[in-house]
Amino acid sequence: MKMKGAEALIESLKREGVEVIFGYPGGALLPIYDALFDCEDIRHILVRHEQGAAHAAEGYAKATGRVGVCLATSGPGATNLVTGLTDAYMDSVPVVAITGQVATPYIGKDAFQEADIFGITMHITKHNYLVKNPEDLPRVVAEAFYIARTGRPGPVLIDIPRDVSAATIDYEPVTQVQLRSYKPTVEEHPRQIAKAAELIQQSERPILYIGGGVISGNASAEVLELAEKANLPVVYTLMGKSAVPDDHPLCLGMLGMHGSAYANYAVAYCDTLIAIGARFDDRVTGKVDAFAPHAKIIHIDIDPAEIGKVKIPLVPVVGDCKRIVPEITKLVSYKPRSEWLDQINRWRQEFPLDYPHDEELRAEYVIERISALTNGEAIVTTDVGQHQMWAAQFFKCKFPRQFITSGGLGTMGFGLPAAIGAQIGCPDREVWCISGDGSIQMCSQELMTAVQCRLPIRIAIINNEFLGMVRQWQELFWNRRYSHVELAAAPDFVKLAEAYGAVGLRVEQREDVDTAIKRAREVTDVPVVIDFRVAREINVFPMIPSGGTIEQMKVHQMISAELPKAIAGQPSNGETNAVQATSTSKEKS
């Protein structure tokens, strides 16, 4: 069948099941946008900035489990995708980015709007292509989607010169992809599985430590079955949040720098750590040598490069956790572990996730009420900073792919476009974006995209007039030298929302929180922005300093507390794990 390269691109995308593209046109994309003009099977979402396109594709992919697609022109259009692609690479998100390029005779000659996006993205994509032969387009598209969605997911970029998309080719669909140099390991290894099961069965103080790989591998049900059958307490990373229900009796919540105190203590004292789809990130481990110092480690991951990169496991298992975990579950049996679970429950009672319930409007309270009034069933996207950690602590998730955030790269501006992608992908679900007054200003122009698409996204701005997390660090570690973190000079977010055609609300008192949330939930045809004017100088606790140890953890509670030097069955290391309690009065000063 004769067709232009751009038409072959669109046909290939349709064959991959693409229903939505987030993009922004430009000169190098004119043949592709002309082909889109006649395409009724693919919906194009016109964003207001290419970074928004990349983050929206991420949100779509994370919420649906399908590959997100974004489209940008050459030069600045392509380079505006870089932050989003890096974010997707760090968090293992399946995205295919398509960029226009100057015509092949002009490549390398500093043509108008030329940028070597192939070279620029080589280290921030799982793979990338510069297509110089129009006949290669169907094959490249098929390979790109195959690479993006298989193994450890990730972003793939296809750079298409304008003359390639305008050329006429004999189109033949590609029905099967075979790449000699790319063979992800998915098959389970029986001997390693047996070793892992034996170690779990022998353990007296096990902890199941799960990351984003459990969600991307669609293995949440399998992991929960293992936890219940073997009676394993569960902790999760920021990217692993929503993999297991937060209200499950075995769930201890998030671990790490801002994880619950009881989750961190459980990891510190465990004798076996079963890591599934997690990469031992520095925000989890702190000082690596002091992380889970007495534990034998089982590490299950589809990416062999992650095994032993940070912590050396006693039992490494490479492969697809959706296949591996059920095989382990078959080999283990229920074990009471009453002393261990009793100890964890004592930590829960002694160091609960809580905050002062005073007259101030606090961010924790706002997020708790969003969680309660949505029955914990909304999809939540976040930006990055204090509000992100409070959302991870106080929004209680029930099912996978419910909590969508930027983990590895920590990208401010991620939340709003990701919410757009999530709402487009899940039109029947309620979507909330929890953002900060700093983060929301990074990509606030995407409000226009949401209004144009009539998306009922609810945006909760936790407005403390600071770059809150940076201010917190300056308070705790830099003698309150608040260098360029105050954001008192800011837009009127209510008027900004109304200028875009959205609904704007402002809340300054605790008693008005529920009313505003309920009002936002009643609006079904445009976004709603709620400006929550919260207390200015409150901090996120618990907190372990970067590169620190559990002995340095500060917990958010009214009285000082101290852990015993050892627990039943655990040899003392001669050190007291003192908890440095930070009083409410100090936080308010």
* pLDDT at position 581 over 50: no
How many CA within 13 A on the CB side of residue 196?
A: 30
* pLDDT at position 165 over 60: yes
> What number is the average pLDDT over the span 260-279?
97
What average pLDDT is seen over the chain?
A: 94
pLDDT grade, residue 570 (50/70/90)?
low
Q: Which residues contact 98 (CB under 8 A, 6 or more apart)?
A: 9, 32, 69, 70, 71, 72, 157, 158, 160
What pLDDT score was predicted for residue 293? 96
In the chain, what are the domains?
2-170 (3.40.50.970), 190-350 (3.40.50.1220), 363-533 (3.40.50.970)
What pLDDT score was predicted for residue 568? 54
What pLDDT score was predicted for residue 186? 81
E strands along 193-238, which residues?
206-210, 234-236
* pLDDT at position 16 over 90: yes
What pLDDT score was predicted for residue 525? 97
Q: What percent of the chain has pLDDT over 90?
A: 92
Cβ(369)–Cβ(513) below 8 Å: yes
* pLDDT at position 577 over 90: no
pTM for this one?
Answer: 0.95
Whole-number Å distance between alpha carbons of 120 and 385: 28
pLDDT grade, residue 574 (50/70/90)?
very low
What are the tens digits of pLDDT across the range 486-535?
999 999 999 999 999 999 999 999 999 999 999 999 999 999 999 999 99
Q: Taking each helix axis as running N to C, give the angle between helix 321-331 and helix 220-230, from 0 to 180 degrees, rounded to the nearest 10.
A: 20
What are the tens digits of pLDDT across the range 319-337?
999 999 999 999 999 999 9
Report the DSSP pairing between strands 43-46 and 206-210. unpaired
Count of beta carbons in the 10 Å neighbourhood of residue 479 = 8
14-18, Cβ contacts within 8 angstroms, sequence gap of 24 or more: 14/39, 14/41, 14/42, 15/142, 15/173, 15/174, 16/67, 16/141, 16/142, 16/145, 17/66, 18/42, 18/67, 18/69
pLDDT grade, residue 573 (50/70/90)?
very low
CA 536 centroid distance within chain: 26
What pLDDT score was predicted for residue 188? 79
What are the tens digits of pLDDT across the range 200-219?
999 999 999 999 999 999 99
What pLDDT score was predicted for residue 566? 57
What are the tens digits of pLDDT across the range 34-76?
999 999 999 999 999 999 999 999 999 999 999 999 999 999 9
What pLDDT score was predicted for residue 215? 98
> What number is the average pLDDT over the span 227-243?
98
The DSSP-derived string for 154-178 is -EEEEEEEHHHHHSEEE--------
Whole-number Å distance between alpha carbons of 331 and 200: 10
> What number is the average pLDDT over the span 211-235?
98
CA distances for 307 relative to 148, 164, 235, 317, angstroms: 21, 41, 19, 8
* pLDDT at position 239 over 50: yes
Report the DSSP pairing between strands 2-4 and 20-23. unpaired
Cβ(547)–Cβ(287) below 8 Å: yes
What pLDDT score was predicted for residue 563? 55
